[in-house]
Structure 1
Amino acid sequence: MSGAGRGISPNLALDEQVARRQAAGERIVHLGFGESRLPVSERLAERLAAGADRNAYGPVAGDDGVRAAVAGYFARRRLPTRAEQVLLAPGSKALLLALQLVRPGDVLLASPCWVTYGPQARLAGKEAIGVPVPAECGGVPDPAALREAVKGARARGADPRILVLTSPDNPTGTFAPPELVRELCAVAEEEDLLLVSDEIYRDILHDPDAVYLSPAEICPDRTVVVTGLSKSLALGGWRIGAARFPDTREGGRLRDDVASVASEVWSTLAGPMQAVAEYAFAEPPEIRERLRADARLHGAVARAVHGIVTAAGAVCRPPTGAFYVYPDFGPLRGALAERGVTDGASLQACLLERHGIAVLAGVHFGDDPGALRFRAATSMLYGRTRAEQGAARAAAEQGADPLALPHVRDALADVEQGFAKLTAF
């Protein structure tokens, strides 16, 4: 996993690099940054403007109204929640790091997983213990491998006490089926692990009828759920995150400990953002329709990119949530080696320098450095301008095919051409 204290996060570094090169006139298809490139909802912009005079600090955990709205959001997802269980922050990253700082013990992570989990654990002085994911999905460790990892870590003197789960996940763009979640919860109970369930992509399931199970439904007393508005409502730069703590004495202590960190680090979520969050988490009809339309768009484009990389010879889990695909070009290892592509880093470099496609190699997600895997963020294909991105959204909202839009079709054609050249032997 990428290390803490050795430069900025690799996804942010790549995004800055691509932005500079594009500004200099280079033609690059940017699939390297996990951002929903869609316009801000007009209603949310209005709420932000209306909240501009909220310039007092306010309570560390958030005002009563916004915490009640977040509690309602969770309750509608089969997680009965009191406002007292909720804490707001400037993004879910801050909450995840605060949890690492206050909860003792080492951390078990799916391998691969989001680039930030491992560095945050190390910043908190913990060991990050990677566990392979199952064949059907990413974001969660294989249950059998998890048991062995816990046993092995304790045998060598480590102290695994925290298990981070992500569903749907970054980087594979898949979510864990209910039966797998139940198995992992059973392991957590047996091994006395705190579950941290990162559900920031929960509202981006490609199939509206898919069955989603949160570990907090199975293990409510040992699960902290973290979410935010960065991905589902394309508000990454606004930095709005929320956490739900167990409704137990221990859960209350954990929330108080995180609030203590918050009071010394970020004080409170900015007042104008609390106005936005209160409206968004209440989920009026405009927000619910936006979530449905955006999920349709994310699914359509992710499936198109999945088709392109598999046609080029990669093996890849079919995307079922979020806006990513995670192809493995291992089947073409011999032929790619003749072009100097021998690992994830050289594959990332080859795609960028020779074929104009920016992706992020699997090594940055804790994957085997020698693996020919990378994450492609398909949400970057909706358009370069706000007008193009808005047209992609509107097509999905109106039930039309966003892939038929000229700018989306052209972007996908560039991706297809780049991978065709990579694998033209």
Structure 2
Amino acid sequence: MTPATPAPSPNLALNQLVDERRARGESLVHLAFGEARLPLLPQLGERLAAGAAHTAYGPVAGGPAVREAVAGYFTRRRLPTTADRVVVAPGSKPLLMALQLAVPGDVVLPSPAWNTYAPQARYAGKRVIGVPVPAECGGVPDPAALRTALRTARAAGADPRLLVLTLPDNPTGTLAPPALVRELAALAREEDLLIVADEIYRDIVHDPDRTPFLSPAEAAPERTVVTSGLSKTLGLGGWRIGVARFPEGDTGDRLRDGVLAAASELWSTLAGPMQHVAAYAYAEPPEVTARIRAAARLHGAVARSVHRIAVDAGATCRPPTAGFYVYPDFEPLRARLAARGITGSASLAAALLDDSGLVVLAGHLLGDDPHALRFKAATSLLYGDQEQQAAALAADDPTRLPHLAGQLDRIAAAFARLAA
């Protein structure tokens, strides 16, 4: 039998679809792509220009300056780090793929989860073991369900070795509390699982004073790799800057060396000009930290507004506390929606697009139950062009700006049609 042709990443495919349809003059509200739409911080552009002369390959792991800066970033977050524990790459996605190649065995994922984890595992020849998330948050599997899933998977011949945790979470916009992270870290030790902590949204906690962050690398330092990057905090997705922190000891050495071996064949090194940008950004000068704080306030304000709209329309939805996503569940409207032929996430997303021009990422594309009435909405796509983005960053209440308020009104009308 000829194997099925792999499909493109659904969020990237939807983003391209939106661009094409907008080019034809269609008016769409795009909520299907997790890009931080922020104006470029001028100092970043200056560092990029200053680094343009760095045209040599350099070390696979990255040069000393950028690795020292990244080590300092992690150290300031209660994760003491030396430069030899750091690898930089063209985005965190290649690092996550390299980890899949470097770690034997199968992969445990929360369900739902970011839509790239499972395809990467399958490209690496691994089985994917999906485990439902707890009621209070996403990004991590429910501990009791995880124990059961591990037993069932091993009885069926699987070999779970790698546990992926996303803190804060894409797609739910929530953060697992410290007690839950500690419980999962203890379970990982008990079951001899390595942990990948995807912390690319770590600096986008909306209210850090009320939402404490505990990294799995604090709770299980000997078995946790942390990945991150600059695409979400500083809106540099297209510049492709990712980082990984490896644990001390033999396990960390083995994982780092495996990733570097893969990197040497896949991407060689992070481009020199981008290393120049990353060294500056990860040193966290005042203008960078001020931009990140302003962006977190903006993301929080708009995500909370979309959350209120969803709840007012009759959905249930975890309150967003980080990142720029909401993940509403329209199960309370199932009978009403079924009468219109809407019986799962695919038909729900199609109805929103066809009836209201609203583009969302259906839950089944994130490993969720296809029959569930859930989808991801990426609220960071509502900020407008660069001039409008700058105004939103500076506003006391960005949701009152005309361009943003108009988008929110369209979302409210679309959700209201579902409830009608």
TM-score for the superposition, normalised by structure 2: 0.98
CA drift at 1:208: 2.5
The answer for the alignment partner of 1:283 in structure 2 is: 284
Instruction: State how 1:3-402 maps to structure 2 within 5 Å.
Output: 5-209=5-209, 210-383=211-384, 385-395=385-395, 400-402=396-398
Match of 1:411 among 399, 407, 410: 407
Hey, what's the Cα distance between the residues in 2 that align with 1:21 and 1:232? 28
Amino acid of the structure 1 residue aligned with 2:337: L
| Counterpart AA for 1:10 | P
Q: CA deviation at 1:416?
A: 0.8
Q: CA separation in 1, counterparts of 2:102 and 2:208?
A: 37
Structure 2: which amino acid aligns with 1:317? R
SS state at 2:410 partner: helix
Matched position secondary structure for 2:368: coil
Return the offset for 1:405.
1.0
What SS is found at the alignment partner of 1:287? helix
Q: CA-to-partner distance for each residue in 1:252-299, whole Å, 9 max, x for gaps?
A: 121011001101110000000000000000000011111111000000
| Structure 2 CA distance for aligned equivalents of residues 99 and 224 of structure 1 | 9
Contact kept? 1:39, 1:389, Cα under 8 Å: yes
1:4/1:119 contact within 8 Å kept:
no
Is the counterpart of residue 421 in structure 1 residue 408 in structure 2? Answer: no
| AA aligned opposite 1:105 | G
The amino acid across from 1:276 in the alignment is V
CA-CA distance at 1:238 after TM superposition: 0.4
Q: How far is 1:102 from its partner?
A: 1.1
Q: What SS does the corresponding residue of 1:169 show, helix, strand or coil?
A: coil
What CA distance in whole angstroms lies between the structure 2 residues aligned with 1:5 and 1:47?
41
1:96 CA drift (Å): 0.3
Alpha-carbon offset, residue 394 of structure 1: 2.1
Q: Name the amino acid aligned to 2:44.
A: L
- How has the CA–CA distance of structure 1 residues 388 and 92 changed in structure 2, closer, same or farther, with 3 Å as cutoff? same
Contact 1:4 1:123 (8 Å CA) reproduced: no
**Alignment partner of 2:17: what SS?**
helix
CA shift, 1:5, in A, is: 4.5
Shift in Å, 1:6: 2.3
After TM superposition, the runs of 4+ consecutive aligned structure 1 residues lying more than 2 A away are 3-6
Deviation at 1:23, TM superposition (A): 1.1
Distance 1:421 1:348 in 2: 13
Amino acid at match of 1:33: F
Work out whether residues 90 and 269 of structure 1, in 8 Å CA contact, stay in contact via their aligned partners in 2.
Answer: yes
1:410 CA drift (Å): 1.0
Amino acid at match of 1:256: D
CA shift for structure 1 position 250: 1.8
Alpha-carbon distance in 2 for matches of 1:102, 1:68: 24
Conserved? CA contact 1:4–1:122, under 8 Å: no
Deviation digits for residues 131-189 of structure 1, max 9, x if unmatched? 00000000000011111111111111100010000011111000100000011001001
Distance in 1, matches of 2:407 and 2:113, equals 27
- How far off is 1:239 after superposition? 0.3
| Structure 1: 5+ residue stretches without partners | none
In 2, are the aligned partners of 1:344 and 1:371 still within 8 Å (CA)? yes
**1:4 and 1:120 in contact (8 A); partners too:** no
Q: Deviations over 1:82-126 (max 9, x none)?
A: 000000000000000000011101000000000000000000000
Q: Partners of 2:134 and 2:5 in 1: how far apart?
A: 30
Secondary structure at the counterpart of residue 307 of structure 2: helix
Shift in Å, 1:19: 1.0
SS at match of 2:176: coil
Q: Using the alignment, how far apart are the partners of 2:281 and 2:202 within structure 1?
A: 15
Shift of residue 423, structure 1, vs aligned partner: 1.4
CA distance in 1, matches of 2:35, 2:4: 22
Q: Report if aligned partners of 1:121, 1:127 keep a CA contact under 8 Å in 2.
A: yes
Separation of aligned partners in 2, 1:142 and 1:263 = 36
Is this contact kept in 2: 1:355–1:422, CA < 8 A?
Answer: no
Counting aligned pairs with the same residue, the percent is 67
Contact 1:107/1:162, CA 8 A, preserved across alignment? yes
Deviation at 1:422, TM superposition (A): 2.1
- CA deviation string 1:366-398 (max 9, x = no partner): 000010000000101111x21111111122xxx
Instruction: State the shift of 1:4 in Å.
Output: 8.9
SS state at 2:165 partner: strand
Distance 2:334 2:36 in 1: 32
> Are the equivalent residues in 2 in contact too, given 1:178–1:211 (CA < 8 A)?
yes
